[in-house]
Structure 1
Amino acid sequence: MGENEPFRGQFMFYKRWALDPNFSTVVKNAWESGSSSHLGTSLTRIVNCRRAISGWKEQNGSNSLTRITKLREELEEEEEERYPWFTRIAEIKIELAIAYCDEEIFWRQKSREKWLREGDRNTKFFQASVKSTRAKNSLQFLLDEHEREQFSNRDKSEVAVRYFSDLFKTSSPTSFTEIFSDFLPRVTDAMNAGLICDVTLEEVRLAVFSIESEKTPGHDGMTGFFYKKYWEIVKHQLFEDVRRFFRCGKIQDEWNHTYITLIPKISTPRRMTDLRPISLCTVLYKILSKISHLD
């Protein structure tokens, strides 16, 4: 892959897969495959699910556009027969309707347009929205601290790293006593008792279902929709991992891995000050954050 070629191939869960009646079995078998292992944490099970889903995609031809092309060709061939098989024609039309619905759901999720009602058939609009967003967020070059244009992905990333390193550098003070000397205590004993009590399964469920389904996922590719749709499958292991965090106070490193995406604040960004960073956290991390807010 060249320096300026965009990254491709990252896994992302698409809600259209859930329309297949057999897909939940794929998720269930993959999630439960780690139950007999001491490494059967949510992270391990997610990796198992991703592998199983990738295999399912290859076997079932989940690409809706390919299915549409193939079905249309089959429909034309059947209709041109001297004695058409009308039962098969009806079946093909049903399969085509499903494939078109899958394609619409796919592009709607990629575009993340929310103002259209569920069921509106506007695949071309969603495609145009995705292309427009990509063009708007593209970054041809960045000016470094010496006002020199940097075009390659590697050089642009170095500009960003230096910028944020300078922005968030610290003098590493050894004591904060003087800083907080005038702060009055706000947490009562009753409040503290509520904060340190064990988390419940209901709190985890409320946190999961408060997360938006189609937000861009973190590095593991799993969206909020996945956890909501398959809550009955994932809830027990997820609950154990969340409870372990609140008991020991240590977060698993992978839960805290975050993608930093730079969003232009103006139409033609040239400097780091023209860009706004956003963090693409995993849903697992968001669950911990949500529960903290619920408390």
Structure 2
Amino acid sequence: MNCLSWNCRGLGNPETVRELHDLVKMEGPALVFLCETKIEGRRVGDLTTRLGFEGCYPVNSAGLSGGLALFWSKDVDVTLNNFSDQHIDVMVKNIGGDNKVWRFTGFYAKARRSEHTERRNLLRWLKAQSDAPWLCGGDFNEITDNSEYFGAHDRPEWQMDGFRQCLDDCELQDLGYQGVPFTWDNMQHGDSNVKVRLDRFLMNPAMMSWKSASVVKHVLSPKSDHCMLTVILKRVAEGTEGHRRRFIYEEAWQKDETYDNTVLQGWRRGAGLQGLHGIEEALSTMETHLTVWRKKKFGNIRRKIKKVRKEYEEERSNSLFRGPTKKEKDLGHQLSDLLHKEEIIARQRSGADWLKAGDRNTGFFQARATTRKSRNRIRSLQAADGSVCETKEDIHAEVQQFYTGLYTAQEHTDVEAVLHHVPHQITEPMNERLLRPFKEEEVKAVVFSMGPSKAPGCDGFHAGFYQKHWELVGPDVTAAALGFLNGGQMPDTVNNTIIVLIPKVRNPQNITV
């Protein structure tokens, strides 16, 4: 499903209507929000059939200023909640498929700086009206960072901080974008040119968890100084069809009473005597044992919670006029234990290691994980030849090609000729310390200095597994590590890694910038 938002700067121009009609035919949006229509609502409504829509909610302009419109297709049912000269707020029901009900707000903030506080409070008020999955899009006339501004003078920090605080209060997360980085251009030349990212789409945690693979595109328009924005609403599953979920070790498993015995039986003692290759085989065997055990003992945590909660409520309703039964107490303990396990899994997935298990704010952890995943998702990359990679396969190929070239040794390179010009900085005593053999305690210190749930490797085991079971696996891991560090060989398969691109800038356009 697609939605479109555009500050069209007047629907009275036939060329603007023609351009809108062309984009609607191309994108097939279920919702279209327009601001600055600059014509009466009646005239906007007359465009409904021409544009191929089922219905329209127009808001009259004040002469040649303002004016809003929301069009919708036959794919959705739309119910108006409220509106003003700065917003249209509706409930949307998908027709067919999942029949999901969600909320859309088209927002238009007037450019007058004196109204900053008023429009931010309007956004906060809208947030308080409903907890439904919420998509909010439009022209907000504000930015969150000076990277969203190009011009001679930066925006003041206090002004951006007010908008950032408003978005935090409303729990709204920016979806990012594909395309040009700015959505408004004053079209002037030289030092007078100003470009700003004024338009955006936002989601609350409920919407983000449902449609976290959504993609926003900036589409340039010759008839407006604002870009058109389209958002393709997608679930993660829709963007990762056919992808096999790899094994990941979960901290929550440690809470089960049969877990320790499973690990004890699954670890092949003496594996370290065969070097790193022996550890690799031992971890593969452990993965098989834990995978079989997990399916039997854990299954789907959310489904189990739902089942146990239903049984608990039924049992409790049967004992309203007498004391709690043994079954009720047992079910209560089961439910509490399952909730604790779910919390640990959500915390590990979110990467929020600054909060310890115990707060049972699973919704917070899940929202954080979803937000982080959406922010880090790379939706397109510019290839070396200037073309744009948008499919998963093309992006993977471009990344692999870049890093293969980066880490491949150059031919005909005379290393000695280069080193001849590098001054010596290492003294003989320093060299002796660097060349001394590695020790057991150094291996353990490195393992325990890692974050327990950080960045598991190709095998899916992170540092928390080794730290938890150091008495069992430590001797083998230490023997294998020292065997390599003190002059041994590293098998090629052990040196395999997973390339994870973590954007260091917002909406990266290529690998190097």
Secondary structure of 2:512's aligned partner: helix
> Structure 2 counterpart of 1:137, which letter?
N
Instruction: Say whether residues 1:98 and 2:334 are aligned partners.
Output: no
Q: Distance in 2 between matches of 1:68 and 1:208?
A: 35
Q: Distance in 2 between matches of 1:33 and 1:181?
A: 48
1:136, CA displacement in angstroms?
A: 1.4
Q: Distance in 1 between matches of 2:399 and 2:355?
A: 36
Instruction: Say whether residues 1:21 and 2:277 are aligned partners.
Output: no
1:91, CA displacement in angstroms?
A: 1.1
Secondary structure of 1:110's aligned partner: helix
- Find 1:114's aligned residue among 353, 376, 382: 353
Secondary structure of 1:248's aligned partner: coil
- Find 1:55's aligned residue among 292, 300, 304: 292
Answer whether contact 2:342 2:362 (CA < 8 A) is retained.
yes
Which fold has the larger relative contact order, with Cα–Cα distance below 8 Å and residues 6 or more apart in sequence? 1
2:310 corresponds in structure 1 to 73
1:242 corresponds in structure 2 to 481
1:182, CA displacement in angstroms?
A: 3.8
2:399 corresponds in structure 1 to 160
Which has the larger displacement, 192-201 or 230-239? 192-201
1:4, CA displacement in angstroms?
A: 5.6
Secondary structure of 2:499's aligned partner: strand
> Structure 2 counterpart of 1:150, which letter?
C
Instruction: Say whether residues 1:253 and 2:253 are aligned partners.
Output: no
2:386 corresponds in structure 1 to 147
Runs of 5+ unmatched residues, structure 2: 1-236
- Find 1:10's aligned residue among 206, 222, 246: 246
Secondary structure of 1:131's aligned partner: helix
> Structure 2 counterpart of 1:228, which letter?
Q
Q: Distance in 2 between matches of 1:37 and 1:165?
A: 33
Relative to structure 1, the CA distance from residue 241 to residue 115 in structure 2 (aligned partners, 3 Å threshold; closer, same or farther) is: closer
Going by fraction, where is strand more abundant, 1 or 2?
Answer: 2
1:21, CA displacement in angstroms?
A: 2.5
Relative to structure 1, the CA distance from residue 256 to residue 162 in structure 2 (aligned partners, 3 Å threshold; closer, same or farther) is: closer
Relative to structure 1, the CA distance from residue 145 to residue 179 in structure 2 (aligned partners, 3 Å threshold; closer, same or farther) is: closer
1:216 corresponds in structure 2 to 455
Q: Distance in 1 between matches of 2:257 and 2:393?
A: 44
Answer whether contact 2:347 2:357 (CA < 8 A) is retained.
no
Runs of 5+ unmatched residues, structure 1: 275-295
1:181 corresponds in structure 2 to 420
Relative to structure 1, the CA distance from residue 26 to residue 128 in structure 2 (aligned partners, 3 Å threshold; closer, same or farther) is: same
Q: Distance in 2 between matches of 1:42 and 1:163?
A: 31
- Find 1:227's aligned residue among 466, 470, 494: 466
> Structure 2 counterpart of 1:29, which letter?
Q
Q: Distance in 1 between matches of 2:325 and 2:501?
A: 54
Relative to structure 1, the CA distance from residue 97 to residue 2 in structure 2 (aligned partners, 3 Å threshold; closer, same or farther) is: closer
CA RMSD of aligned residues (A): 2.9
> Structure 2 counterpart of 1:23, which letter?
Y
Q: TM-score, normalised by structure 2?
A: 0.49
Instruction: Say whether residues 1:41 and 2:278 are aligned partners.
Output: yes
- Find 2:504's aligned residue among 243, 265, 283: 265
Give aligned pairs, total.
274
Greater radius of gyration (CA): 2
Which has the larger displacement, 65-74 or 9-18? 65-74
- Find 1:137's aligned residue among 369, 373, 376: 376
Answer whether contact 2:247 2:459 (CA < 8 A) is retained.
yes
